[in-house]
Structure 1
Amino acid sequence: MSNRRNWLKQIGLGAIGLSFTQFETFANPSAENYVSLDLDKSPILLRSNENPYGPSPLARAAMQKSVNSSNRYGWDLSGELISLIAKKNSVSDNNILLGAGSTEILDLVLQYTALKKGNFILAETTFNYWTFPFEKLGLKKITVPLTADKKHDLTAMLKAIDSDTKMIYICNPNNPTGTICNYEQLVSFVKEVPKNIIVFVDEAYLDFTKEKSLSGLVIENQNLIITKTFSKMYGLAGARIGYAIAAASTIDELSALKSSPNLSVSSVSTAAALASLNDDKFIQQVQTANEEVKKYTIEQLTKLNLTCIPSQANFIYFSLDNYKKDYFKQLENNNIQGTKIYEENGKWTRITIGTMKEMQQFIEAVK
């Protein structure tokens, strides 16, 4: 603990604070500092659920300082980060595994599941890119439709379990719908799933909510694996750092699939993550800004007669069924990068919440 405090003092970051106005001015890396292949254009990036305000001041300073020692391996700093993550999640150090973004953790869990052979279950509309190698790994994928209000159908997922099921994946809040299963629902769900089946919960966007993490349940539930990331709330998508929380025995088994556990993350990224976890004020500012801009955007889309799903994350899922123009052409004409149609029935798409200025430009573009 004292080492971490001393390290923060060394980089001169005792108490950086920003007013909301300063925060908005400071926070435009998504457009103004983006390097496009076409240097005459600076697109508005509303496609990947990135944090337009990050990294935090502490993280930026930490990365700059850590470059000077990046000729050395970051073993000690990794240990510091693991200890802080463990403390914040009320678990032990041996319950944590670092990864190059939660993407590496997702890949590891898929490989881990494949060792057992069989099938895995996930929602029909969810974050599924990480599952694409499943056939080559000898797995079968079973998808379960969302409920009418675009939430995970936990009852249907339980019914989909068969003797070959090895893992169930839940993205909470769900990407792309922004809907959430509350803590009590998931606790009950975990209890009902047979203990030989992995329950894999992706909490990439949980920091945008007031819901409690399931991380504290991994000790008594050996089949529960949680993944979290610094890419979203903490604004470190390009730094590639995330982690798994699970029973110590599960962490050991996941680690065995890596040649160097906890060392796939650079010392620069580790320093940024460690500093980010100590920047509570910045996180509060991001949460406040996200809620204010999200409220504005939903109100404006609703005025355009577009149905929006209430979102618990930093993006909005809405229907283009009533939209009379070519939505994607409107985005293209205004140099805005959005996503795609996720569900043809209703023409549902997703848009990331940017800064207020960016979302005002987005609304003007689609009017």
Structure 2
Amino acid sequence: MVQQRADVERLPAYVQGKSLPDAVKLSSNENPYPPLDSVLVATQQRLASFHLYPDMGAVAVRERIAARHGVRPEEVAVGSGSVEVAAQLITASAGEGDEVIFAWRSFEAYPILVQVAGATAVPVPLTADERHDLDAMAAAVTPRTRLVFICTPNNPTGTVVHTDELERFLAAVPKDVLVVIDEAYVHFDTDPESADGVDFFRRHENVAVLHTFSKAYGLAGLRIGYAIASERVAANLRRVAVPFGVSDLAQTAAIASLDAEAELNARVERIVAERERVLAALRANGWKPIDSLGNFVWLRTGDRTAEIDAALREHGVVVRAFAGDGLRMTIGDPEMNDRFLAAITGITAL
């Protein structure tokens, strides 16, 4: 028998949001709206050249991202979605015997990526109100800690880390530990007290920031995300990245999307308004969801998770179920959200 890494064969598989025929898919945190016309035109103009390799250094898109955030291109690294850039961060920072800390429950790829790198995952439970327990995370740091992920807004709970909380956390963490602020859902965050990852990056050499074009920008199928990090860290991310991992179409669409941010922000505002409508309707129906600042809503359903998930599917609504924990419902367009609300109305609230 061909030898394989035993720890890899024990890895849990990353679970993609499921879909069913004729059902409303609210399981993947996708943007419900189609690409903007200007983004479609820009990518269509590049179709005739996809027999050629893309720019491996992604120079143009890195320059555009840098200008957007007021940083240097040397401080930007890209990958095929922020999850691939997260993998780069782990690979460049941690190996066998090293530890990576993250809140739990948080983005489900974190423990998988850590195990793939051969490092040790250190999950720290969320607080009772579904937020990062930064004091406990700081206490979990050891001499073997190389990396800490802070997902804000947190997937799947939608809670955020505030500026003052992150200041205290960074003051307590050794400066040789890289703190990654994962802001995949930052565009949907309307809390003025929320930490600004790029601002913290400017003031702390051991901070990196993760962003994606998959959510607010609606480029999930093209796969492009990026990190903003110190020049040394960003250079190492490029060293461990898969060569030519970000297609020319993705780079082109990202630049076009940054050029169309006013239109995209209007879409974000619609999604945020729908999020607040869905939250209000759930509460009116007896549910007790916490406030969410992502493009999704979280219900802590515990032992009833599978039962409620099955009931929603019977009504043609697919959400993301985390066994024994809860349900995450992506905010869709108004019609999609109405179908979800109609389906859950007949289910007894916890």
Same-fold status (TM-score > 0.5): yes
Corresponding residue to 1:268 among 225, 245, 249 = 249
Give the superposition deviation at 1:341. Answer: 3.1
Corresponding residue to 1:283 among 264, 277, 300 = 264
The corresponding residue for 2:32 is 52
Give the superposition deviation at 1:274. Answer: 0.6
Give the superposition deviation at 1:315. Answer: 0.3
The corresponding residue for 2:331 is 353
Corresponding residue to 1:249 among 222, 232, 238 = 232
Work out the percentage of aligned pairs sharing the same amino acid: 29
Q: What pairs with 1:137-176 in structure 2 (closer than 5 Å)?
A: 137-176=117-156
Give the superposition deviation at 1:252. Answer: 1.4
Is the Cα contact below 8 Å between 1:77 and 1:270 reproduced in 2?
no
Question: Which stretch shifts more, 214-223 or 186-195?
Answer: 214-223
Is the Cα contact below 8 Å between 2:152 and 2:181 reproduced in 1?
yes
Q: What amino acid sits opposite 2:198 in the alignment?
A: S
Q: What amino acid sits opposite 2:280 in the alignment?
A: E
Give the superposition deviation at 1:365. Answer: 1.4
Q: What amino acid sits opposite 2:342 in the alignment?
A: E
Query: Does residue 338 in structure 1 map to residue 316 in structure 2?
Result: no
The corresponding residue for 1:363 is 341
SS at match of 1:75: coil
Count of aligned positions: 325
SS at match of 2:53: coil
Superposition RMSD in Å = 2.5
The corresponding residue for 2:186 is 206
Question: Which stretch shifts more, 113-122 or 248-257?
Answer: 113-122
Question: Which stretch shifts more, 210-219 or 316-325?
Answer: 316-325
Give the superposition deviation at 1:330. Answer: 2.3
Going from structure 1 to structure 2, the CA distance change for 1:303 and 1:320 (only over 3 Å counts) comes to: farther
Q: What amino acid sits opposite 1:355 in the alignment?
A: D
The corresponding residue for 2:42 is 62
Query: Does residue 132 in structure 1 map to residue 115 in structure 2?
Result: no
The corresponding residue for 2:241 is 258
Is the Cα contact below 8 Å between 2:305 and 2:322 reproduced in 1?
no
Question: Which stretch shifts more, 114-123 or 357-366?
Answer: 114-123
Corresponding residue to 1:71 among 51, 55, 73 = 51
Give the superposition deviation at 1:352. Answer: 0.4
Is the Cα contact below 8 Å between 1:150 and 1:177 reproduced in 2?
yes
Going from structure 1 to structure 2, the CA distance change for 1:223 and 1:137 (only over 3 Å counts) comes to: same
What is the distance in 2 between the residues matched to 1:250 and 1:321?
40
Question: Which stretch shifts more, 136-145 or 87-96?
Answer: 136-145
What CA deviation, in whole Å up to 9, does each residue of 1:327-350 have, x standing for no partner? 2222222222211136x3xx5221
Question: Which stretch shifts more, 222-231 or 68-77?
Answer: 68-77
What is the distance in 2 between the residues matched to 1:143 and 1:37?
29
Is the Cα contact below 8 Å between 1:171 and 1:203 reproduced in 2?
yes
What CA deviation, in whole Å up to 9, does each residue of 1:257-298 have, x standing for no partner? 1353xx311111111111111112322222221122112211
What CA deviation, in whole Å up to 9, does each residue of 1:7-47 have, x standing for no partner? xxxxxxxxxxxxxxxxxxxxxxxxxxxxx998xx3331100
The corresponding residue for 2:163 is 183
What is the distance in 2 between the residues matched to 1:301 and 1:64?
41
Corresponding residue to 2:208 among 211, 219, 225 = 225
Corresponding residue to 1:107 among 68, 83, 87 = 87
What is the distance in 1 between the residues matched to 2:120 and 2:132?
20
Is the Cα contact below 8 Å between 1:306 and 1:321 reproduced in 2?
no
Q: What amino acid sits opposite 1:137 in the alignment?
A: A
What is the distance in 1 between the residues matched to 2:162 and 2:231?
26
Give the superposition deviation at 1:326. Answer: 3.5
What is the distance in 2 between the residues matched to 1:271 and 1:87?
16
Unaligned stretches of 5+ residues in structure 1: 1-35
SS at match of 1:249: helix
The corresponding residue for 2:99 is 119
SS at match of 1:252: helix
Going from structure 1 to structure 2, the CA distance change for 1:80 and 1:128 (only over 3 Å counts) comes to: same
Q: What pairs with 1:301-316 in structure 2 (closer than 5 Å)?
A: 301-316=282-297
Corresponding residue to 1:215 among 192, 198, 201 = 198
Going from structure 1 to structure 2, the CA distance change for 1:83 and 1:148 (only over 3 Å counts) comes to: same
What is the distance in 1 between the residues matched to 2:302 and 2:282?
12
Give the superposition deviation at 1:323. Answer: 7.7
Give the superposition deviation at 1:172. Answer: 0.8
What CA deviation, in whole Å up to 9, does each residue of 1:244-265 have, x standing for no partner? 11000111122221353xx311
The corresponding residue for 1:93 is 73
Corresponding residue to 1:319 among 300, 324, 327 = 300
Give the superposition deviation at 1:177. Answer: 0.4
SS at match of 1:53: coil
Give the superposition deviation at 1:357. Answer: 0.5
SS at match of 2:137: helix
